[in-house]
A and B are shown apart, each in its own frame.
Chain A
Amino acid sequence: MDYSIKIGGEAGQGIQTIGDTLARVFSRSGYHVFTNQDYESRIRGGHNFYQIRFSDRPVMAPCEGIDIIVALDNASIMLHEKELSKSGLVIYDSATLKRNYEKQKFFDIPFAGLAVEHGGNRIMENTVATGAVLGMLGMDLKIFNEIIGEVFAKKGEGIIRANISSALSGYDYAVEKCPLCSFSPAPFSRPKMLVAGNDALGFGAIAAGCKFYSAYPMTPSTGIMSYITGKAEEYGIVVEQAEDEISAINMVLGASFAGVRAMTGTSGGGFALMVEGLSLAAMAEVPVVIALGQRPGPATGFPTRTEQGELLFSLYAAHGEFPRVVLAPGTPEQAFFLANKAFDLAEKYQIPVIILTDQYLADAQWTFDGFDPDRLSCTDYRVRGDVFRSLGEYKRFAFTGSGVSPLGVPGDAKHVVVVDSDEHDEEGHIVEDAGTRIKMVDKRLFRKLPLIKKEIAPPLFYGSKDPEIVIVGWGSLYGAMKEAVDALSKERNTAMLHFSEIYPFPLTDDFDYVSLLKAAKAAVCIEQNATGQFARLMRAETGYEFKAQIHRYDGRPFTVESLTGEINACIGRL
């Protein structure tokens, strides 16, 4: 079984609530769930949708062929009717849409009427619709009722009961009057965790000991700030909404200098404003983690849609030469653990680490059996308290074999901590002489870099051990690629390389992925941008040149079918 449900409507109609509730019912019932959202940059009106895919086997990208469309507006029907699968159905409320669709696949359910009748208020029409979907699927309402109890716990018994009876009315209506329903969901298994990219990243930061977060709101990164804000009091975290992104990164540098783990998050436009601060982080060797949620540019671009257009920007942004790390998680789970790695590397090497995500990953929810907290590393690399006090002398930028100097916490000892954006000596004071300059560049850059390179994991390999076709991609394309490999493998030996740790570019010592690419009959690089930025990076770093590339830059994510189709077409042309 593999079902897709699409809930469409105007912004403000509550499609998110329906979607979130259904997704939670499925994940708690033990299904594998994937959800993604498509929304416009507006608060009311327009057309948005929320798509849920659930299955008894892992799903990790949207697919085509919708089984149930919940149409809260006429646009949902106009735009998405053609996406229905063979047995697919549209449910809608003719009273609300002020239209009757006299077609076979259409199923008129009085969402509003039933809400008034059973819940006492039209407001519960979305609950009726949710119940109807569960009825069509023949699912048990027990878990749904549990969730309603949790969601409305603060609103009291009355509201909970009204919602439960509204849902039941929709459920019964669908069971009785929907002769076409032939869905057969699998039996219950262990509940799964359901988590979105932004929440995983925010939680990953918290679990890495992040104590300070400052940002200026910008889609699609705002969710990270919201998640951390929600946990701030519980975990002892300060979240400060800055007056602009320049301030945000400088606040973070101040907090990090003072001795706590600190992070900021933004999108391309805000990152552009942070660039001078990024350079300062490098010069002052202050650890910083920056989440960069990409969206289509240039300028304001498509504010609520997805792209991978900032890979090279994140690599080359900022004046001067210095080491940095760029990570690009492909799943919420990777986002959680790479956030941990980002904080670890930033502090260990006193460098900026950038985590590249995009709108698609930020908002998409995935299911997992769980995250293993034992995989988290939590080393405190700062020199604090008694250890700091016991030092005979202290130089913030002392020359060392590794290039890494002791990161003292100011105030903990009599030693003063001095950092500077000018070139400086070991103590941190301004210098102008050529000799010190050379030694400092060697320390900051050349000594650290080989050590940092060793920290970077090779790309993830999946698929046939002896592949004819290798597809290559990075960041949020992971899920669609993996499902495409499964689909393509039915005909040919196919494999994929997924890069989630992008810079410094992975070494080939442990896994010679370049030879693998050379040995394959066809290697296709897939990117959600117009120019193939990763392919260019690959060529610059390894000399390997992709002959086949797929670029998508319409701001929309790949479905499994569209990606598989493009790969086949691409190979056909070779």
Chain B
Amino acid sequence: MPALEDYKGRPPAWCPGCGNFPILSAFANAMADLGLGPHQFTIVSGIGQAGKFPHYLKCNTFNGLHGRTLPVATGIKLANHDMHVFAVAGDGDCYGEGGNHLLHAIRRNINVKLFVHDNQVYGLTKGQASPTSMEGMVTKNQPAGALSGQLNPMALAVALDCSFAARAFAGDGERLKELVKAAVGHKGFALIDILQPCVTFNKVNTYQWYKERVYHIEPGYNPEDRIEAFKRALEWGDRIPIGIIYKNYRTTLDEKIPAIRKQPLIKQAFDRSMVEATLKEFY
């Protein structure tokens, strides 16, 4: 069994008190609990504060471009579906720059787990509004306040029939760890939108602000009821639900592709002797 020490990476360059720290330890704890060694999973991350996440761990890492985590993760998973594949991105990265990929990853139901570190702001580029910034949030670049409406990732996920959609709060590491484990245990595309305080640039959605509002979804709630899930997804403001909002058991993309039904692509050696037979088809 891997120990927590085994996941130790480079020293984080985040601001002291940043909401990314508790996410990092919750994730490492979840991996240790699941017994997944550093070489048994791959984290694909984007660019932003969240994008640095895998460097502060020890694991297979593809730290790619801003907004493009999901296509890379999809490629890895299709090539090797024995590998656990996580995509880690910021709210700007995933809901802004890479928004189109999110829609299609949900549609494909690729068996990848996506964690969005949702600090409702662009951290790395110093505090501009993001797609999840609350309307009216004033920033240096939005002096009159964010003018566009706030994107609701949970409602989007339920609307698109996302296989697994959950919301977590970085300030509640224990619950976050359990949600990560649940996502890994779920077969299908999983989105966990993690409310992550940015202590430097988001002076609206602070630890305190979230703490006053988040509540755990009650045990009797049925996340397989899509209508109820949609109602729950719409809750924002005074009360913000934390937990699994929605799930279904759709067939995953890799299960549908004939070429990889029996074995991961990576295990299928190329048989050069077939070339000769194919050549004959051109006559």
Chain A positions within 8 Å of B, measured between CB atoms, are 27-28, 191-195, 199, 203, 206-207, 209, 211-212, 214, 231-238, 240, 242-244, 246-260, 262, 276-277, 280, 284, 370-371, 373, 376, 378, 409-411, 413-422, 428-430
Contact = CB atoms under 8 A, between A and B. Distances in A.
Contacts of B83: 258, 410-411
A195 B282 contact: yes
Contact of A254 (B55, B63, B75, B268): B75
B72 A254 contact: yes
B1 interface: no
B117 interface: no
Interface stretch (B97-105, B132-140, B201-209): B97-105
Contacts of B255: none
A277 B52 contact: no
B265 interface: yes
Interface stretch (B145-153, B170-178, B191-199, B272-280): B272-280
Nearest to A286: B62
Contact of A192 (B68, B70, B283): B283
Interface residue SS majority, chain A:
mixed
Interface in B45-76: 47, 52, 54-55, 58-65, 68, 70-76
A254 B79 contact: yes
Interface stretch (B22-30, B35-43, B236-244): B35-43
A276 B65 contact: yes
A212 B80 contact: no
Contacts of B39: 410-411, 413-416
Interface residues of B, number: 55
B265 A238 contact: yes
B82 interface: yes
Interface stretch (B157-165, B182-190, B256-264): B256-264
Given A244-B100, A280-B64, A370 B75 contact: no
Given A254-B76, A255-B79, A411-B39, A421 B60 contact: no
Given A195-B282, A410-B83, A253 B61 contact: no
Nearest to B277: A234
Given A251-B71, A254-B74, A417 B60 contact: yes
Instruction: Give the top 6 A-B pairs by smallest Cβ distance, nearest first.
Output: A254-B75, A250-B71, A258-B79, A251-B75, A254-B72, A209-B270
A238 B79 contact: yes
A416 B279 CA distance: 40
Given A252-B75, A414-B39, A238 B279 contact: no
A238 B80 contact: no
B71 A203 contact: no
Given A238-B259, A370-B279, A373-B276, A253 B270 contact: no
Given A251-B74, A254-B76, A260-B266, A411 B40 contact: yes
A276 B52 CA distance: 19
Contacts of A378: 270, 272
The winner among B72, B272, B283 for most chain A CB atoms within 10 A is B72
B75 A193 contact: no
Contacts of A417: 60-61
B78 A251 contact: yes
A545 B101 CA distance: 47
Contact of B274 (A235, A254, A413): A235
A285 B204 CA distance: 41
Nearest to A332: B282
B278 A254 contact: no
B201 to A, nearest CB: 21
